[in-house]
A and B are shown apart, each in its own frame.
Chain A
Amino acid sequence: MLESKAAAPADLLVRGVHVLDPRSGIDAPHDVLVRGGEIAELGAPGSLEAPAGAETIEGEGRHLFPGFVDPHVHLRTPGQEHKEDIDSGTRAAAAGGYVAVVAMPNTDPVVDSAPVLRSLREAARREARVPVGFVAAITRGLAGESLTEMAELRDAGALGFTDDGKPVHRAGILRKALQYQKLAGGVLCLHEEDPTLSGRGVMHEGPVSARLGLAGIPSVSESTLIARDAALAGYEGGRIHIQHLSARESVEAVAAARAGGVQVTAEASPHHLTLTDEALLGRLDTRLKMNPPLRAEDDRRALVDGLRDGTIACIATDHAPHAREEKEVPFEEAPMGTTGLETAFAAVYTELVLGGVLPLALVVDRLSAGAALLDLPLPAIEVGRGANFCVVDLEAEWEVGEHGYESRSENCCFAGRTLRGRVLATVAAGGVAYRERSFAVVGA
């Protein structure tokens, strides 16, 4: 179900690196030997020798995590390759420590038929630096009127279904999708927003929007639709995943549904977990414009609590690249979205782990937990498993720049912020997918 271009199977030794894999319970320095793209041995620091021809990565003082998995990115292919394509988007993913990403179908044309999906999977086999999976549209053309051929799309490799970017506004259509899920399988990923409440809103509704004179998107625009859809999923016994939670009311709606036995999971983005609408007061920066919008501090705290207690299963970036000229316009005119793949770990680590709010192990878990929601294997640091990990320097401090991204676009909401934690290397599907330019490799 995941596609990437063939990479040479890695032969390498990461020496003395602190391995942290919350799911297998490893949290100590190790030598990690990769042979033929598989984790061949885990040993005490200094115990393993690099075989002939293998490169050695000096891991002392650095961490090795199971690679991150992002269930929500926009690779903009087909049709909007001026913003991003499969090559640039997966290079950005690799630079962020990701070993798999799942692309959304709101492209041009929309991924709503098997031929489009097949051609995309083929393109990924040619271009993708890390494995890419695809979710297909729930409704044809994302128009919300009629269902796609979900069964055929599943056979063609769709991991699940979503109309992301838009809600499935008509309850009757979503109900039919939930019924059809019994045949087709695949989770329904839902962008929750009542368009009659969001109106022409461009930011969170509250004191900041009142001050700026900008039309607001109320929190209840999201939470009311979550409540509706959770009720439908409960009634039909279907499985839904709520995308990019942003408000306290939404966390509460998901928690209530889960308590009531509904099969519902949820994700939150690094920006919603770390930033608030107050950031717009200093400068009306269009990079801070996304949907759902950055909300209030109380909402942000609720998201963090939800991530901690599992109401929110995973962190998803909603990586949404836009070209420079599209964002260099007045705030109300700018498209919604921020890039996120290259800053996700550092943003969450800096603001939440170093801020003393969440333990590192929990953050590492939530950065790959999205795999399970889409029935993908969870990366693990275990002998005999394919190598899917990233090596991270937690001490490295860096400023998120205006330029210099692997992504084709530069609309990153963290631009100008100083973050800690830098991904030095990423091994995905057994091959080296990323190596930081300044990163010294011994004996390569």
Chain B
Amino acid sequence: MRHLLSIEDLDRTAIERILDRAKSFTEVSEREIKKVPALRGRRVLNLFYEVSTRTRSSFELAAKALSADVVNFAAGGSSVEKGESLKDTVQTLSAYQPDLIVIRTPHVGAAHLVAGWTTAGVVNAGDGKHEHPTQALLDVYALRDRIGALDGASIWIVGDVLHSRVARSNIHAFIKLGANVTVCGPPTLIPRGMESLGCEVEYSLDRLGEADVVYALRMQHERMTDSFVPSLREYAARYQVDGRRLGARQVLMHPGPVNRGVELAAEVIDSPQAIIGQQVAAGVVVRMAVLYELLAGRGAPSGAATAPVPVHA
């Protein structure tokens, strides 16, 4: 694997290989010195065109835990503000010889484009409303930790599916690992043709009790202005996951950050069913596994297979 651009490109074997490697990295996170030399001398460049707290910082922690050098490049305060095109920015930064570029943009397909413009490996850390593959991997990791294999599990993804790259990546990941996926939300926020991804579509939570796992999506306030929903009040009344709707044996997930009192009621966020904190924690080890897969794993450029790593040419 040279790039991680979408979950759609991965097969079950590749997903499981990354998850298994992530598991082996948990031991590193528990050490006093949280570092191994696996990617020593490798350069990882974080290129973020959208604000991000957890994704960017967990990529940074993951790279550092593997002893790679990290440069963070945020669009604000850079030549991007002077009108530099994405292509020129990527080609300029490529002159610094990065081994890997982690990119987040508000534009669908941008990571694919970048992969064509650089010799570095590329990780898609979110491209518009398309995909967010490492989020899906860490979600699957956290969920496997809680319930074991996903085969046959019923997973409901609830909320603003239309604007969610997390929903798209997770639908692919959950289905590839054998789960049955239902998306549920207001009809205005479920894209036409969504069932072609292999999921069921529901417009009410009436049958939520059939779910083993409830994955709530973030409901953004700006959706009100475009009349996707008439009010947050009406949205919460119909789609909020609360103590009444969440069963004792169901698992609750959310990609964060949560709007308390909108998509989730306070009582379920802090409930034992919720694994929201575990999802965040999984972010570092899963991203370590992704970096390792691309820079030192199978299909990575030669000379990178074992630590200690020779000086990069």
A-side residues, CB < 8 A to B, are: 205-214, 216, 218, 283-284, 325, 328-333
Contact = CB atoms under 8 A, between A and B. Distances in A.
Contacts of A212: 108-109, 130
Contact of A210 (B86, B110, B113, B193): B193
A214 B196 CA distance: 15
15 contacts: A205-B191, A209-B191, A209-B193, A211-B168, A212-B108, A212-B130, A213-B168, A214-B129, A283-B112, A330-B86, A330-B107, A331-B107, A331-B108, A332-B108, A332-B128
B105 interface: yes
B85 interface: yes
Nearest to B116: A283
Given A329-B86, A330-B86, A210 B130 contact: no
B131 interface: yes
B197 interface: yes
Nearest to A331: B109
Contacts of B8: 211
A208 B193 contact: yes
B103 to A, nearest CB: 11
A216 to B, nearest CB: 7
Nearest to A218: B192
B87 interface: yes
A287 B62 CA distance: 37
Given A213-B168, A330-B128, 15 more contacts: A210-B191, A210-B192, A210-B196, A210-B197, A211-B196, A212-B109, A213-B128, A213-B130, A213-B131, A218-B192, A328-B87, A329-B85, A329-B86, A329-B87, A330-B108
Interface in B122-148: 128-131
A213 B85 CA distance: 23
Contacts of A206: 192-193
B109 A210 contact: no
B287 interface: no
Contacts of B105: 330
B194 interface: yes
Interface string B1-20: 00000001000000000000
B254 interface: no
B42 interface: no
Nearest to B114: A330
B165 interface: yes
Contacts of A284: 108-109, 112-113
B108 A210 contact: no
Interface in B183-207: 191-194, 196-197
Contacts of A331: 107-109
A213 B108 contact: yes
Nearest to B192: A205
Interface string B48-88: 00000000000000000000000000000000000001110
A206 B196 CA distance: 9
Contacts of B165: 213
A331 B87 CA distance: 13
Nearest to A205: B192
Interface residues of B, number: 23
B108 A325 contact: no
**Most central of B105, B192, B193, B196 by chain A CB within 10 Å:** B193
Contacts, number: 65
A210 B194 contact: yes
Given A283-B112, A330-B105, A331-B109, A216 B85 contact: no
B115 to A, nearest CB: 11
Contacts of A332: 107-108, 128
Contact of B110 (A208, A216, A330): A330
A214 B192 contact: no
B196 A328 contact: no
A250 B209 CA distance: 43
A207 B129 contact: no
Nearest to A332: B107
Contacts of B85: 325, 328-329
Given A210-B196, A213-B108, A213-B165, A330 B129 contact: no
B21 to A, nearest CB: 28
A279 to B, nearest CB: 14
Contacts of B196: 207, 210-211
Contacts of A208: 193
A207 to B, nearest CB: 4
A214 B108 contact: yes
Contacts of A328: 85, 87
A209 B191 CA distance: 8
Nearest to A333: B107
A136 to B, nearest CB: 34
A202 B12 CA distance: 32
Most interface-central of A208, A213, A216, A283 (chain B CB within 10 A): A213
A335 to B, nearest CB: 14
Contacts of B128: 213-214, 330, 332
A166 to B, nearest CB: 21
B301 to A, nearest CB: 24
| Closest CB pairs A-B (n = 9) | A330-B107, A213-B129, A207-B193, A207-B196, A284-B109, A213-B130, A210-B191, A210-B193, A330-B110
Contacts of B112: 283-284
Contacts of B194: 210
A255 to B, nearest CB: 25
A218 B191 CA distance: 11
A218 B129 CA distance: 18
A241 B194 CA distance: 35
Interface in B145-165: 165
A207 B197 CA distance: 8
A216 B192 contact: yes
Contacts of B191: 205, 209-210, 216
Contacts of A283: 112
Given A205-B192, A284-B109, A211 B129 contact: no
Contacts of A325: 85
A283 B194 CA distance: 20
A333 B191 CA distance: 21
Interface in B299-313: none
